[in-house]
Structure 1
Amino acid sequence: METQKLQNSTLILVFGIFSILTCCCYGVLGLILGITTLILAKKATAIYNQNPDLYSGIQNVKTGKILAILGIILSILYILFIVWTVTYFGWETLQNEELMQERLRELMEQYQ
């Protein structure tokens, strides 16, 4: 019996890679791609588990799922970093370069 390629296996791998690459786009794009990848991977794994001899490409699904989890973690960390930066420095400081430099000098003096 000839095996057929598992549906969306390449797409899952590509989305997993892009979820890591786009995690620094304020975290939102990487989070969306990561969650989408996990949903697609769950469906593809369920199809594969029904009849494993009929399908190939499960390795792409597994790799894409791992990359999606990493992308989600990195996106969440980046979102938390942005929230911390805004709460610590404030919007006014982030929009004014001179005020930001002054604030960073104060921060560096605290740790010297």
Structure 2
Amino acid sequence: MEQQKLPNATIALILGIISFIACCCSTGIGGLIFSGIALFLVKKDTKLYAENPELYSNFSQLKTAKTIAIIGLVLAALTLVWGVYQIMSVGGWDAYMEQQKEIFEQLGIGS
């Protein structure tokens, strides 16, 4: 019987990689979403592999996807916690937005 590839291993790997980028560009929220989806797909394929391991050939790719998704999840969580800490350290959302506005004015960005 010819071995086949696990159906979600590649997309889980791609989502794990995207979670790195998304955690930096969206204050951690995007990274949490993409790595969460990747981990869900990894769990689904792990169950599929456990039912019939000799049928699939790319389980190592699935393990790599899981590792990358976990790292992305941790980085995204740390980024989110850091963002919340920064907002709270200046006195809440309104003070944070005022500080950002002042910085933009000093740099000549915005109106």
TM range (shorter): 0.7 to 0.9
Q: Deviations over 1:45-67 (max 9, x none)?
A: 11111111111111111111111
> Equivalent residues in 2 for 1:14-93 (5 A)?
14-24=14-24, 25-90=26-91, 91-93=93-95
1:56 aligned counterpart, secondary structure: coil
- Ranges of 4+ aligned residues in structure 1 off by more than 4 Å: 97-101
Give the aligned residue type for 1:47. Answer: L
Unaligned residue ranges in structure 2 (runs of 5+)? 104-111
> 1:59 & 1:21 partners in 2: Cα distance?
23
Distance 1:31 1:7 in 2: 22
Give aligned pairs, total: 101
Share of identical aligned residues, percent?
39
TM-score normalised per structure 2: 0.81
RMSD: 1.9
Unaligned runs of 5+ in 1: 102-112
Rg larger in structure:
1
What TM-score do the two structures reach when normalised by structure 1? 0.80
